[in-house]
Chains A and B, each alone.
Chain A
Amino acid sequence: MFVPLGKEDVNLRDYNLLLPAISVGNVGQLAIDLIISTLNIPKVGYFYTDCLLPMVGNNPYATNQENAKELCTNAEVYALPSHKLAVLQLRSIVIKKKLKTICQALISWIKRSAFSKVILLSSCHAYQRDDTQLLGTPFRYLITPVFQKFTADVLRELGWKEMEKVSTYPGMNDNEKRLSIPGGGFTKALYEDCCLEEIHMAVVLKFCSEGDNMPDAFSLLNQVNEWLHLVEPSNGDSHPKWKAPSSWRLLFGSGLPPALF
């Protein structure tokens, strides 16, 4: 459920919505962090849900001592009216057995807000790729049938590849195929719900593995930016300069005890 920051409701009609999937390497979430931090998008409300594990901390995008004191929660909505851009950031994992419930909650909010399009940033286990997927670009996209006629040509022109389907019974019968996004969290469930609900939705994902996934986030965002032009690159550069938020420090733990050396 969306709860506005202040007393007045927020109108997000015809905005583009970007949201992450909680997926392998947290690539979608890291990419969303980069967008919010780079465009300095203000917070407009909370996505109040019992499907995500609660967590609180201080402002992850703090730029000075004053704004470092703002509390942040596990699911928050940011909006930039000048770009007609809304961003949902999810900061913790989906509680077991709540995957379907969170998809339903997201769908009903998306429908009520009347977004112009929804883009889900996600990732998929790199080790699950088949032989053909090993070569070429590590990015894939999926678009809902209603969104096909608006975007399929644009994405094809950009040279993007659609996520391949895999055989339901590999080696036995290759005619029956299904969509599989291992490690993609709720990506597949949300995509399928969006297909049913006829929502203009696209998934952009990257094949990756767990580790230091910051480079994956940068590259996924560059890919999305080619399509959406969220940030124009400064002259001469092929990609814009994304600004990593202050909270990305110490992602791999504290300093080491000096006595070790």
Chain B
Amino acid sequence: MATFFGEVVTGFSRAVGEEEEEEEEEEFEEDKEIREELEKRREVHVSWNELISAEISPDRRLPCTHLILSVGDNAAGFVSSYILSSGSWQVCGSIALWNERCRDCGIRNDVSPAPNSCTLFQMISDPMVLLCQCSCYVADDQLLQWCEKVFGSLEKSKLKVTVLSTCPVSEYKTIESTYTLPVPFLKALKTKEYKDVVPCPLMEQPNIADGLPAAVLTYCQVWKIPAVFYQCYTDITKLDSVTIEAFCPVLTVQSLGNLTADSAKIQETLKKMVKMRNIESNLYI
């Protein structure tokens, strides 16, 4: 299939050719069954722990004032070291999904960012503050479903959403060359309802965001929920302390600043995390 220059978001497949779709009509009954089975398997499941699931019912949702979502390793690393390390958090649920790039999105009970997981945490002192660490790949067709399932169980009247993620600096569009830009740097996008101060410049056109952060922001914009998204442009895709620290300006926002852990704990977690990564990536040990 041809590549398409002008496209602003790239999909797993760009099916503009009609041939592909037409072939489907002629498929056998058996293929149809397999496809339906696959579709069922691709459903996103949100599971809350016992205490919370007892609280949720079709007409009662989980009260939530702030949902923090980290997407990807570095954003998860930032949240783990700067927020979760305070110790006043407990695992309250998880999101399970299956797709071509994520075969085992398991449930985790520790606070370190783990590959292929999507875990929900609740603040012990203020149970209305939730945090979600998503480090698994959510496929194109699962993105909006993810939002609907997660937000579907939350009470949205006082909800505010913060999303953190990273993206390669090569995707940043600017008149200058990205080669000369000092990386990492933060850019933000916010929904119409979000009125708080944003501690970094807003993302300029023609820059855009895609993937799970875009799905969450679209959901929030359409359903009028205040949300902000901080995108960190970096030249390192793996977990790294410089990129993690680039998120620090977001802690100046009051709702996040209140959640910051002690600096000793931050440093300890950060060291542990980076050391573990170094050992994993060292061929000679």
Interface residues of A (CB under 8 A from B): 3, 22-26, 30, 46, 48, 50, 53-60, 62, 68-71, 73-74, 91-100, 180-185, 188-189, 210-211, 213, 246-259
Q: How far is the CA of A3 from the CA of B200 in the complex (A)?
A: 30
Contact B15 A96 (CB under 8 A): yes
Asked if A54 contacts B176 (CB within 8 A), the reply is: no
With the chains together, A53 CA to B11 CA distance in Å?
7
How distant is the Cα of A59 from the Cα of B204 in the complex, in angstroms?
9
Contact of B5 among A97, A100, A211, A249 (CB under 8 A): A211
What are 29 A-B contacts defined by CB distance under 8 Å? Answer: A50-B143, A54-B210, A54-B211, A54-B218, A56-B189, A56-B208, A57-B209, A58-B205, A59-B205, A60-B205, A68-B204, A70-B192, A71-B221, A74-B214, A91-B8, A92-B8, A92-B9, A92-B11, A93-B7, A93-B16, A95-B141, A182-B17, A247-B206, A251-B6, A251-B206, A254-B175, A255-B175, A257-B179, A258-B180
- Contact across chains for A60 and B19 when beta carbons are under 8 A apart: no
Are the CB atoms of B18 and A250 closer together than 8 Å? no
Q: Which residues of B contact A180 (CB under 8 A)?
A: 18
Nearest chain B CB to A28 CB, angstrom units: 11
Q: Are B8 and A252 in contact (CB under 8 A)?
A: no
Name the prevailing secondary structure of the A interface residues. Answer: loop
Task: Give the number of A-B contacts (CB < 8 Å).
Answer: 161
Distance in angstroms from B135 CB to nearest chain A CB is: 19
Q: Specify which chain A residues have a CB less than 8 angstroms from the CB of B14 in the assembled complex.
A: 93
Mark interface residues in B216-230 (1 if CB within 8 Å of A CB, else 0): 011001110000010
Contacts from B to A (Cβ < 8 Å): 2, 4-9, 11-19, 21, 24, 140-141, 143-145, 172-180, 189-192, 202-211, 213-215, 217-218, 221-223, 229
User: Ordered nearest first, which 5 A-B pairs have the shortest CB separation?
Assistant: A57-B208, A257-B179, A54-B215, A257-B177, A50-B144
B178 touches A188 (CB 8 A): no
Min CB gap B284→A, angstroms:
33
- A21's nearest neighbour on chain B, judged by CB, is B16
Instruction: Quote the shortest CB–CB distance from B27 to chain A (angstroms).
Output: 12
Flag if A73 contacts B221 (CB, 8 Å).
Answer: yes
Contact indicator B6/A25 (Cβ below 8 Å): yes
- A58/B175 in contact, CB under 8 A: no
CB distance from B236 to the nearest CB of A (A): 19
Which of A46, A58, A62, A255 has the most chain B CB atoms closer than 10 A to its own CB? A58
Minimum CB–CB distance from A255 to chain B (whole Å) comes to 5
Closest to A93 in B: B11
Complex partner residue of B16 from A23, A57, A249, A250, CB under 8 angstroms? A23
**A184 and B16 contact, Cβ closer than 8 Å, known pairs A53-B9, A71-B189, A254-B176:** yes
Contact of A183 among B16, B24, B202 (CB under 8 A): B16
Within the complex, which residue of B19, B179, B208 is in contact with A182, where a contact is CB–CB below 8 Å? B19
A55 in complex: contacting residue of B176, B180, B191, B209, CB < 8 Å: B209
Contacting pair A57 B221 (CB below 8 A) = no
Please indicate the chain A residues that have their CB under 8 angstroms from the CB of B217 in the complex. 54, 56, 71, 73
